[in-house]
Amino acid sequence: MSDDRLTIAGREFRSRLWVGTGKYKDFVETKKAIETSGADVVTVAVRRVNITDRNSENLLDYLDPKQYTILPNTAGCYTVEDAVRYARLARAAGVSDLVKLEVIGDERTLFPDTAGLIEAARILIKEGFVVLPYTNDDPIVAQKLVDIGCPAVMPLAAPIGSGLGIRNPYNLKIILETVNVPVIVDAGVGTASDAALAMEYGADAVLMNTAIAGAREPIAMAEAMKYAVEAGRLAYKAGRIPRKLYATASSPIEGML
Amino acid sequence: MRIQVNGEPRQVCEEINVTDLLRDLQLNVERVAVEVNLEILDRRDFDAKTLQEGDRIEILSFIGGGT
């Protein structure tokens, strides 16, 4: 699999499993889970620093930005203005123009506000950002995001943190067929088979956080996800057999008594 | 003079610049973004940016987060 690299906007990625860094017990567990997952892209959020507790540790003390691609998100932003502001802050705090753009439309579902997403993406692309948009499983919106210059799209499998797996495989398949940029399935994965399935459909990568961090044994689940994504990718490239209603014997009839 | 840092009032010396403030707060200049009165600063301008009475400063950095 070493030659099977994922390329987005001229950047090469080794792993097709991307992971979030939220919800872990502590930074030690975060680091261990991410190392085990084999991921080389990690998402982070941008928030106020704690100025009262000066001994508070920094996430980047545990995740070396030289070793990982740090992908800041605009999670928690419900308006175009907020998402653009957080993206700019992320760029100022970091080292790259990459942003995982989220414009959230609703608190209960955390579904994206796709109209706001397109508007925010347009503004940020004009400012030189590499915008990776967290979007709905809507092929039309995905194509619009590509048309305005997003070098990849990140459709959800299911609501963030829901663990429901791929709710709309047919829409996902249409997106995979119609857009000519990498597709990263983002959010909603519950267990290893969900990730494998996304990769078997032809997704270019899978991004997850809660499925690993929220598992009873996060480190073990990180390992499971690593293999699931690799297995799914290999199966996709190998080409599955067609589904048939009736049996086809795999042992020859010839030579039977 | 009084300024506001991450929503909290704070007493600082006159003529303090952003680099001084970050040093006082023991923050790594390379790991934060600074906004002064809603204007995001380039890291290269931290020395040159002298703070004024009543300035509202936001200091942010990366924390754990997924989607």
| pTM (two decimals) | 0.92
Give me the residue from B5, B34, B41 closest to A51, CB to CB: B5
Distance in Å, alpha carbon of B23 to nearest chain A alpha carbon = 11
Q: Is A70 on the interface with B (CB under 8 A)?
A: yes
The H or E element spanning position A130 is: strand A130-135
The per-residue pLDDT for range A49-92, each reduced to its tens digit, is 988 876 677 888 899 889 999 999 999 999 999 999 999 999 99
Mean model confidence pLDDT for chain A: 95
User: A98-101 and A130-135 as β-strands: parallel, antiparallel, unpaired?
Assistant: parallel
Residue of chain A whose Cα is closest to the Cα of B40: A89
Partners of residue A8 on adjacent β-strands: A11
The per-residue pLDDT for range B40-61, each reduced to its tens digit, is 999 999 999 999 999 999 999 9
CA distances from A196 to A1, A14, A122, A204, A231 (A): 15, 17, 32, 11, 6
Write down the residue that tokens 């919800």 correspond to: A23
Q: By C-alpha distance, which of B26, B59, B41 is closest to A49?
A: B59
Give me the residue from A20, A27, A70 closest to B66, CB to CB: A20
The burial class, CB within 10 Å (0-12 / 13-18 / 19+), for A224 is buried
The per-residue pLDDT for range A190-225, each reduced to its tens digit, is 999 999 999 999 999 999 999 999 999 999 999 999
B39 interaction partners in chain A (CB closer than 8 Å): none
pLDDT computed for residue B66 by the predictor: 80
The values of phi and psi at residue A136, to 5°, are -80, 170
The per-residue pLDDT for range A2-46, each reduced to its tens digit, is 578 999 999 999 999 999 999 999 999 999 999 999 999 999 999
A213 interaction partners in chain B (CB closer than 8 Å): 66
ipTM: 0.93
The values of phi and psi at residue A199, to 5°, are -70, -35
Q: By C-alpha distance, which of A49, A50, A92, A52 is closest to A72?
A: A92
Q: Which amino acid is at A21?
A: T
B49 interaction partners in chain A (CB closer than 8 Å): none
Q: By C-alpha distance, which of A40, A101, A33 is closest to A73?
A: A101
pLDDT computed for residue A57 by the predictor: 78
The rounded distance, in Å, linking the Cα atoms of A240 and A95 is: 41
Give me the residue from B42, B61, B66 closest to A58, CB to CB: B61
Q: Are the C-beta atoms of residues A158 and A164 closer than 8 Å to each other?
A: yes
**DSSP per position, B4-65:** EETTEEEE--TT-BHHHHHHHTT--GGG-EEEETTEEPPGGGTTT-B--TT-EEEEEEEEE-
pLDDT computed for residue A55 by the predictor: 67
Q: Which residues of A are known to be catalytic?
A: 100
